[in-house]
Amino acid sequence: VAVEVVPETGSTNADLMERAAALDAPLLLVAEHQTAGRGRAGRSWLSAPGDSLTFSLAWKFDAPLQQLAGMPLAVGVALADALAACGVQVQLKWPNDVLKDGSKLAGVLIETQSGAGGIWAVIGIGMNLRMPDEMEARIGRTVAAAPWLAQMDRDQLMATLLDSLAAALAEFSRSGFGAFSARWNRLHAWQGRTVAVLDRGATLYEGLAAGVDDSGRLLLDCAEGRMTVLAGDVSLRTR
Ligand code: ATP
Ligand code: BTN
């Protein structure tokens, strides 16, 4: 995978969304600093130079499009594997978060773009290495950091993450999310806990989180029976 590193940009996801149509091979774009980082559902992603990793991987999506919903979950498994290899144990929150000790260490934002050769997935990852107090105050909730990773060689850390991601994405294209569901469920942060599924703040469902199925849908045991929740712009909260 070709790698480009830039000192500063608005958003690596925005950059690769613009360039995806013209790409003919996967590309990893790493920014030392992002000034307009994007989160899910139109939120912003804050990061300080040197204290975080912000990067995006443009990857040709050659699996059936209905498999897309499982992609952020497969990426979560790949990140958890790479972090474990670096000595950091994490858990996964459906659909797209990496948690450490219950708060958010990393987020995944996947956007798609169609180009001449087909559909490209732009897989954006933001990971907190250190979290300055004033930035946490601006985010407005407790977030996790991994100072141990901040002490590692950055190129080595990025190489470990990229290897794991590329292997997982190749497996995902071949076999779909089914190849990841058991591993995802072992890493599930909120298994058996009561959770609420929120859409712009409003509770859609509440139930016991029972892991994910082979398509990456969240299984929720509610009073009315078992529900399957598709990943969309919904958020989970524990109750
Ligand atoms: P999601 O559905 O993406 O998990 P959420 O509302 O459940 O969203 P939380 O992890 O509970 O997310 O809250 C964190 C919020 O702060 C999110 O909107 C997240 O995008 C935002 N945020 C911005 N910068 C950071 C950062 N560096 N680390 C963690 N969260 C951040
Ligand atoms: C989320 O949890 O809301 C997703 C956060 C994704 C942030 C990363 S940082 C690199 C890439 N570029 C962006 O603008 N966003 C993603």
127: confidence class by pLDDT, cuts 50, 70, 90: very high
Distance CA 53, CA 32 (A): 7
CATH number at residue 218: 2.30.30.100
Residues 82, 167 share a domain: yes
pLDDT at 62: 85
Backbone φ and ψ of 5, nearest 5°: -120, 130
In the structure encoding, which two tokens stand for residue 40, read together? 């899910």
Q: In the predicted model, what is the mean pLDDT of residues 199-225?
A: 95
In the structure encoding, which two tokens stand for residue 195, read together? 């959770």
Q: What is the three-class DSSP state of 162?
A: helix
pLDDT at 64: 83
Q: In the predicted model, what is the mean pLDDT of residues 204-212?
A: 96
Distance CA 153, CA 151 (A): 7
Count of domains forming the chain? 2
In the structure encoding, which two tokens stand for residue 142, read together? 């407790």
Q: For residue 116, is pLDDT > 90?
A: no
- The residue among 186, 205, 222 that closes a domain is 186
If you measure from the C-alpha of residue 22 to the centroid of ligand 1, how many angstroms do you get, rounded to a whole number?
A: 31
What whole-number percentage of the chain has pLDDT above 70? 100
On whether the CB atoms of residues 41 and 233 are closer than 8 A, the answer is yes
Q: For residue 112, is pLDDT > 80?
A: yes
Answer yes or no: is the C-beta of 72 below 6 A from any ligand 2 atom: no
pLDDT in tens, 53-70: 999 999 999 888 889 999
pLDDT at 162: 98
> For ligand 1, atom 5, which residue shows the shortest CA distance?
235
Q: For residue 4, is pLDDT > 90?
A: yes
145: confidence class by pLDDT, cuts 50, 70, 90: very high
Ligand nearest to the CA of 12: 2
Q: In the predicted model, what is the mean pLDDT of residues 31-42?
A: 96
Answer yes or no: is the C-beta of 164 below 6 A from any ligand 2 atom: no
Q: For residue 232, is pLDDT > 80?
A: no
What does R_g of the chain's alpha carbons equal in angstroms? 17
Residue 209's domain comprises 190-238
Residues 165, 64 share a domain: yes
Residues 220, 127 share a domain: no
Residues 204, 108 share a domain: no
pLDDT at 115: 77
- Substitution site in 11, 13, 43, 97 for ligand 1 pocket (most atoms within 8 Å of beta carbon): 43
pLDDT at 83: 98
Residues 149, 67 share a domain: yes
pLDDT at 117: 79
On whether the CB atoms of residues 98 and 106 are closer than 8 A, the answer is yes
If you measure from the C-alpha of residue 104 to the centroid of ligand 1, how many angstroms do you get, rounded to a whole number?
A: 7
Ligand 1 site: residues with CB under 6 angstroms?
39-40, 43, 45-47, 96-97, 104, 107, 126, 128, 139, 141, 143, 235
Residues 206, 108 share a domain: no
If you measure from the C-alpha of residue 196 to the centroid of ligand 1, how many angstroms do you get, rounded to a whole number?
A: 16
Q: State the closest ligand 1 atom to the C-alpha of 135, by its place in the atom list counted from 1.
A: 27
Residues 50, 139 share a domain: yes
Ligand nearest to the CA of 47: 1
Residues 223, 147 share a domain: no
CATH number at residue 137: 3.30.930.10
pLDDT at 81: 98
pLDDT at 133: 95
> For ligand 2, atom 9, which residue shows the shortest CA distance?
126
Q: In the predicted model, what is the mean pLDDT of residues 34-51?
A: 95
Q: For residue 101, what are the CA distances in angstroms to 57, 69, 144, 151, 190?
A: 27, 26, 7, 19, 12
What stretches of 94-140 adopt beta strand conformation (E)?
Answer: 97-100, 103-115, 118-128
**Dihedral of CA 147/149/152/153: which sign?**
negative
pLDDT at 94: 97
Ligand nearest to the CA of 125: 2
